[in-house]
Amino acid sequence: MRALGVAIFVIGLCASAYGEGGPASPSSTPRHLLAGVRAFKAAHYEEALVELRVVARAKDAPDDLAFYLGPTLYKLGRYQEALGVFLGSHAERDTLTDFYLAQTYYRLALYRSARAAFADLRTRGLGPALDGAAARYVDEVDRGYAKIPEPVVVDVYIAQAFALSDGRLAAAYLEEARQIEELLPEPHRRDEIAWELARRYVALGDARARALLEPIAAGGGPHATEAADMLAKLP
C-alpha cells in the first residue's frame, strides 16, 4: 500500500506541473522520494537519508514522510532524531510506522512508553510475526518492572528531559518519568513532573496539557495561578 501511495504522490505532482500552456518546471521532490525509498529498501540507509532530507526540506513534501524518514533514522541508530520525526508527524497513523515508533521508545530506554505503544498495537490486528514481537517487548518491560523502581530512576529521566532543547523529546522523557512515578508507593517528584510536562504540552499544542493543568490550577500550589492562565488560553 505504501508503494502505491508513493506512486500516486509522484503521478499527482508530475501532473500538476503541466497546465494548458505547456509544461512548467516539475518538482524534484518525487524523484528524491523515490530514490530515498529505493535506497531504504536496498538497505542503503545513509543514501536514503540524504534523499529524504531533501524531501523534508521541500514545500511539497508528503504528509506521511515520517513513514520513510523515521525508519531510516532508526536503522542508522539515530534514535532521538527518529523519535522527533515520529512525534512531529501529523499524518494519519500507520501500523508499521507505529511499530517503529514503539521500537524507538525501547531503544531510548523509554520503556513504559514503549510498552504502552506495543500494547496498543496489539489491539489493532497485527499479523502473527509483529504481534509476537510486540508481545515479547511487553513481557520484557513487565519483567523489568516486576519490582518497584527506585526514585532515582525518575530523577534520571527528568534530568535527561531538561538537557533536551527539542520540546517533543523533552516531553517524551518527562512522560516516561511520570509513568514511572506512578509505580512508586510514595510521591517523589510528581507535582514537578506534572507542571513541567504540562508546560511543554502547552507549547506543543498537545491536548494532554488540559488534564495536567486542571488539578494544578485547582490545587492552590505555587503554579496554580499560572496554570489557570494557561487553561484560559487553551482552545
Assess whether 159 and 214 both reside in one domain.
yes
Assess whether 158 and 226 both reside in one domain.
yes
Closest CA to 108 of 202, 46, 175, 192: 175
Assess whether 138 and 195 both reside in one domain.
no
Instruction: Please report which confidence band the pLDDT of residue 2 belongs to, taking 50, 70 and 90 as the band edges.
Output: low
176, part of any domain: yes
Assess whether 214 and 164 both reside in one domain.
yes
The pLDDT of residue 12 is above 90 = no
Over residues 86-98, mean pLDDT? 88
| Other Cβ atoms within 10 Å of 68 Cβ, number | 25
Number of domains in the chain: 3
Assess whether 52 and 71 both reside in one domain.
yes
Assess whether 66 and 98 both reside in one domain.
no
Mean pLDDT of the chain: 88
Closest CA to 98 of 131, 120, 65, 76: 120
Residue-level pLDDT at 42: 95
The pLDDT of residue 8 is above 70 = no
Assess whether 101 and 141 both reside in one domain.
yes
Its pTM stands at 0.84
Domain hosting 68: range is 27-79
Residue-level pLDDT at 16: 42
207, part of any domain: yes
